[in-house]
């Protein structure tokens, strides 16, 4: 029963990320003119603003001339997550969260690229390229996957291995 819920978690987490991502991008496109910035709290302006930009490149605007390549990469990432997820259904909740965030983020930006030909970015910390909810989900999902791989993967392997029976010490025959 738990495995069924864990399998669904990928889709639920991914769907939540896609919904939040698409809602926020739509709100920005409707309320903030292209290349304009807005902040409802003036005291936050030095830290973060909402700045409406279009991104044809990879995350954070890198390699803008390869937009169509990123469509192919995003499709491959989504496909690979689905293919390998079936094998990982018993893994840690951290693994499920990481893959769900990556799935939702990749799909959210893929939707923009397919529908608009660019990705809407709007979170602007002024010391980092402008990004969006999907980009954040991909980065957080990748960090969680690295954490899982480095620190939790071995614990999960131990949970799924059959116990090894101890051999009789030499000379203790019945």
Q: What percent of the chain has pLDDT over 70?
A: 74
Q: What is the pLDDT of residue 85?
A: 77
pTM of the model: 0.80
Q: Are 137 and 102 in contact (CB under 8 A)?
A: yes
Q: What percent of the chain has pLDDT over 90?
A: 51
Mean pLDDT over 42-52 rounds to: 94
Mean pLDDT over 51-79 rounds to: 75
Q: What is the pLDDT of residue 126?
A: 92
Q: Which two tokens stand for residue 72?
A: 């192919």
CA separation, residue 61 to residues 21, 81, 86, 127 (Å):
17, 24, 33, 14
Q: What is the pLDDT of residues 84-135, one digit of tens each?
A: 777 765 678 888 899 999 999 999 999 999 999 899 999 999 999 999 999 9
Q: Which of 21, 112, 124, 135 is catalytic?
A: 135
**Distance between CA atoms of residues 113 and 154, nearest Å:** 38
Q: What is the pLDDT of residue 119?
A: 93
Q: Which of 21, 112, 121, 124 is catalytic?
A: 121
135 is catalytic: yes
| Residue with the larger pLDDT of the pair 93 and 12 | 12
Q: What is the pLDDT of residue 66?
A: 58
156 is catalytic: no
Q: Which of 84-98, 137-151, 154-168 shows the lowest per-residue confidence on average (mean pLDDT)?
A: 154-168
Mean pLDDT of the chain: 83
């Amino acid at each position: 029963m738990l495995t069924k819920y864990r399998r669904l978690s990928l889709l639920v987490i991914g769907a939540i990320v896609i919904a939040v991502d698409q809602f926020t991008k739509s709100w920005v496109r409707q309320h903030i003119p292209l290349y304009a910035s807005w902040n409802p709290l003036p005291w936050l302006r030095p830290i973060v603003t909402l700045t409406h930009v279009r991104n044809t490149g990879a995350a954070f605007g890198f390699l803008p001339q390869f937009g169509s390549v990123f469509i192919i990469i995003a499709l491959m990432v989504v496909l690979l997550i689905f293919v390998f997820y079936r094998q990982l259904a018993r893994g840690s909740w951290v693994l499920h969260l990481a893959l769900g965030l990556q799935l939702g983020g990749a799909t959210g930006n893929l939707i923009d690229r397919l529908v608009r030909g660019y990705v809407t970015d709007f979170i602007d910390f002024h010391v980092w390229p402008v990004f969006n909810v999907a980009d954040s989900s991909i980065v957080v999902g990748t960090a969680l996957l690295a954490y899982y791989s480095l620190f939790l993967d071995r614990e999960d392997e131990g949970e799924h291995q059959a116990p090894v029976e101890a051999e009789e010490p030499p000379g203790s025959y019945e």
